Amino acid sequence: MHDPPDRTGPAHAEVAEVWPRDGRIRVTGRVVGAAPAGAGTLIARVRGAPDAELRLPAEGRDTCFEAAVPLDELAAATPEGERVWDLYLALDGQEDALRLGRHLDDVHGKKKIFTYPAQTSGGRRFEPYYTVQDNLSIVCDGEVAR
């Protein structure tokens, strides 16, 4: 007899909800393919700029997590120009951070399907979006016209 196929894919932080409002982007979900560890850290990293990183507390219970990205902190940490922040969850006591994404539903190509409202902070525009790999990121446009 054969083992059933693994439908969970690689270890990651499976996104359940994204709530962009009130000057922050709140994300909830669950850990998949890794031992749950309760609380952790949400890590936002600027793509292509390894020194630009923002670490924020994440709450957790069992396999579930919740974290929020305050846009004023993100604006202050964002280098000039248009940037993309990739999101990760680092679980307490574990070495590798898990990429935030949504992979366990039957919707592929979320980049063209899901849209979220943009918000402004620090004169910049921030908008969460799914990448072509269905991972969650935040795009930051350059200076917003006032």
pLDDT in tens, 7-26: 556 899 999 999 999 999 99
More confident residue, 132 or 37: 132
Place of tokens 């990293």: 45
Helical ranges in the chain per DSSP H: 71-77
CA 113/CA 126 separation, integer angstroms: 18
Q: What is the pTM of this model?
A: 0.89
| pLDDT computed for residue 34 by the predictor | 85
Q: Which of 13, 123, 35 is nearest to 71 (CA)?
A: 123
Whether residue 7 lies inside any domain: the answer is: no
| pLDDT computed for residue 8 by the predictor | 57
- Tell how far CA 101 is from the center of its chain: 7
Residue range(s) defining the domain that contains residue 65: 12-143
Whether residue 1 lies inside any domain: the answer is: no
- What mean pLDDT, rounded, does the chain reach? 89
Whether residue 5 lies inside any domain: the answer is: no
Mean pLDDT of 119-132: 96
**Residue 59 scores a pLDDT above 90:** yes
Mean pLDDT of 18-39: 91
**Residue 92 scores a pLDDT above 70:** yes
Percentage with pLDDT > 90 across the chain: 69
Count: domains in the chain: 1
Whether residue 111 lies inside any domain: the answer is: yes
User: Whole-angstrom distance between the N-terminal and C-terminal Cα of the chain?
Assistant: 65
Give Rg (Cα) of the chain. Answer: 16
